[in-house]
Amino acid sequence: MPATVILGAQWGDEGKGKAIDQLAAKSTWAVRFQGGNNAGHTVVYGDTTLKLHQIPSGVSSLHCSMVLGDGMVIDPWVLEEELDRWHELSGERPEGKRLFISERASVILPFHRLYDSADKVVGTTGRGIGPAYRDRIERVGIRFADIANVVDDVEYLQNTSKRMNGQLESVGVDSRIEWEKLQNDLKWILERYSKSIKPTGLMVDFALRNGEDVLLEGAQGAMLDIDQGTYPYVTSSVTCRANATHGAGVHPGHVEQCFGITKAYTTRVGNGPFPSELSLEKGAGMHMAKIGNEFGTTTGRPRRTGWLDIVALKESNRLNGYTGLVLTKLDVLGGLDEIKICIGYEIEGKLLQMMPTTSIELAKCKPIYETHPGFEAMTESEWIVMANKSRVENTGFGALTKDMLNYIRRIEKLAGVPIVSIGVGPDREASIASINGPFDLPENKEMF
């Protein structure tokens, strides 16, 4: 069976966790292929809110095995905290049983977090992601497969700590790494995760060849891609479809479907250009932030808000070739008198329908909007009733009001990609799927 890719189609925080959770109901494997604990996926089941940072969102489907893939950088201490929270919630310890860590994944160490804390420009999460990827590119980083070979090599540990301390000093960080502490950290990692560290690329390849369904889960969003995003205000890994199989350790021929997750509006965390940005102090921007609870899952930082940017969405589709879009947070727009869509940019008197390459140019772009009628606000329970009605009566998007449906169809036409699911609230049930589409699925009966 082919693999399915789920990606963020904007600047991250689009609601990928919920979509991945839904598709995990029919998947036997869920694989994170890049990033680290700078990502945050939230899944809501009634009164239970599950916040994930490194564990794949398929964790709640108890039949689904999970992989922290080759392309990831993993913080073992944060992972332990996450696994402990999952154990408290579910009673399960999945490590080494259905949760596996790629032996090729890189280890985030205290040094990486300390070095990252010196950033004052990009607006990183400070989790050590960029420095860990930098060490990988410089071929001095430690992978999980390497720990057993270096943990008792005193000369290696002394040289490594010396290199780390020199770099910390160069960026004005006072803390230092002692080689004995580095050794103890590596011993703990090896002891804690030895049963989980596996050649996961081979495992995923075998599963695909055996006819199993594999979900490849991205973090962040396409516009944060290190190569194709709004550089330098990007993350430190390739977030796009091209890296999905590579970061999982299998070939790209396995992929048949690729779903992009986009909000019904746009948000961005951290620094960087954002043409359709609105004020968080008043009007529609404040409405989106308040109603949408726009705060980062990982950092708690307030997200900048703005109207849906079709230029960025088309750029995202160019890079990823989406077979379908999942539109999230349509409910957040309820109560606005009018809704706008950014359909182009104006820069120094010129009209653009594509994103410029540099962030300096993008920051100069002014949005060109088209305006659509708004629709009434509804309570969370009313949205769930609408979603359940669409499933029971098999009406799909027919459950939406005329103005909602017109907005959806316009996005499809402008983006050139069909919308296959619409999120109308944080709860797992608050989704409306297209009839007989990929998200028109039976409820997962193996939820924890």
* Residues 388, 326 contacting (CB under 8 angstroms): no
Task: Find residue 6's DSSP bridge partners.
Answer: 217, 259
Q: Alpha-carbon distance 280 to 301, whole Å? A: 13
CA geometry: angle at 329 spanning 376 and 49, to 5°? 120
Tell me the CA distances in angstroms from 59 to 147, 366, 430, one per residue in order. 26, 42, 20
For the stretch 363-368, contacts whose Cβ atoms lie closer than 8 Å and that sit 24 or more positions apart, written own/partner, are 363/273, 365/273, 365/275, 366/275, 367/275, 367/276, 367/307, 367/309, 367/342, 368/342, 368/343, 368/344
Across the chain, how many H-helices and E-strands are there? 14, 20
Alpha-carbon separation of residue 338 from 175, 334, 372, 376 (angstroms): 52, 10, 6, 10
Buried/exposed 396-416: b ≥16 CB within 10 Å, e otherwise: bbebbeeebeebbebbeebbe
Give the DSSP H/E element, type plus range, for residue 259: strand 255-263
Q: Identify whether 41 is a catalytic site residue.
A: yes
Interatomic CA distance for residues 185 and 182, integer angstroms: 5
Can you tell me the distance from the alpha carbon of 85 to that of 305, in angstroms, rounded to the nearest whole number?
31
Positive or negative torsion for Cα 67, 70, 76, 79: negative
13 is catalytic: yes
Count how many Cα atoms sit within 13 Å of the Cα of residue 10 in the half-sphere of its side chain.
31
**Alpha carbon distance 328, 338 (integer Å):** 18
Burial of 132 (0-12, 13-18, 19+ CB in 10 A): buried
Which one from 21, 41, 70, 135 is the annotated catalytic residue?
Answer: 41
Cβ contacts of residue 13 below 8 Å, gap of 6+? 40, 221, 267, 269, 294, 296, 297, 303
SS3 category, 361? helix
**383 to each of 49, 108, 420, 423, 448, how far by Cα in Å?**
18, 41, 18, 10, 24
Residue 267 backbone dihedrals phi, psi, to 5 degrees: -135, 160
Cis peptide upstream of residue 232 (ω within 30 degrees of 0) = yes
Whole-angstrom distance, CA of residue 131 vs CA of residue 111? 9
Enzyme catalytic residues: 13, 41
